[in-house]
Amino acid sequence: MAEEYINFSQKNDTGIIKLNRPKALNALNYDMAEIFLKKLNEWDLENSIKRVLVYGEGNAFCAGGDVKNLFLSSNKNNLKEIFFQKEYTLNNAINEFKKDYLSIWNGIVMGGGVGLSMYGKYRVATQNTKFAMPESAIGFFPDVGASYFLSKLNRGVGLFLSLTGFAINARDVMDLGLATHYSDADKIEEIKKNYIQTGNIENTSKYPELDSIIDKNKNFIEDIFQNNLINIFYQLKNSKDEFGKKIYSHLLTRCPMSLAISIELLNNAKSKSLKECLEMEYQLCQHMVYRNDFDNGVDAVLVSKTHKPKWSPSSIENINFDEVDKMFEPHVEKLYL
């Protein structure tokens, strides 16, 4: 089944990976991650492969890990453990891959899809790019090494993206250095062909002519998203700015524990390497996926789709921050990346 969802081929000296699960927005499941990792390790040692190209079929690069399947597996098997082991090991393998690695972001790139692309050498955005780390909506946190790159973004921006899960566009990902190149979507096949044949990506002087929610609200984001969770909420609640009011209402729908965890995670990540961040996130995820918030969140957003999860605690005022600290204590075997 995994072979149907992820296809491998070779043209010239380019290894090509197509995520081929368009009905699920190319969501990554355990079997896909396993054969992706195996093939990448083979290609790293294969002299006939000089570079790798990764893209998604349909309207998404990859919308994330298959958390719906994790929810459905609850109390049935150890998928919640082995999936993240495999996924984070794959993220690290991409980072350590010695050859050029190009991802095409022509559509949705979220969560686990970010982990399949962010650590390669090149990332091409198009006008269709929608980039987000939306995990606070499902009782989880930005993982796949997101703590590493979000903690290093411009003042406040990483925390803003982490807490809100807002989707940003091609202009934003270019401005923030998350993408390395931009192209109109109708030129993507040409870019693929050129990369496969020559290993080059055309440097285009074209810049995405799109409105930027980040740039438009840059000063506000920098001012607000600096402090602890209670302080952020206080400032947003009392803000007279329309954007601030919108963000406040939005954050009231997110998982309170996820918000608190995300702030602590990014603070802890600032001086860490990607490997250290993945190790930290693995310990953390093995707490979070067994909380009721995770099952409630995934069910409300992806399964029953009521979009009315019942969080515990139900508000940030009821968060026990000692419990937040305990979430970061190592308690399962390390990944040993």
The per-residue pLDDT for range 68-121, each reduced to its tens digit, is 999 998 888 899 999 999 999 999 999 999 999 999 999 999 999 999 999 999
Strands 6-11 and 14-19, how do they pair? antiparallel
Condensed to tens digits (0 to 9), the pLDDT of residues 220-264 reads 999 999 979 999 999 999 999 999 999 999 999 999 999 999 999
Q: What length does the chain have?
A: 337
Contact partners, residue 176, CB within 8 Å, separation at least 6? 153, 154, 157, 168, 214
pLDDT at residue 74, rounded to an integer: 82
CA distance 193 to 119: 22
* pLDDT for the residue 204: 66
Which sequence spans correspond to the domains of the chain? Answer: 2-132+169-198, 213-326
Q: Which residues are catalytic?
A: 65, 112, 135, 143
Q: Which residues of the chain have pLDDT under 50?
A: none
Domain at 2-132+169-198: CATH code: 3.90.226.10
Residue 170 is predicted with a pLDDT of 97
Q: CA-based Rg of the chain, rounded to a whole angstrom?
A: 19
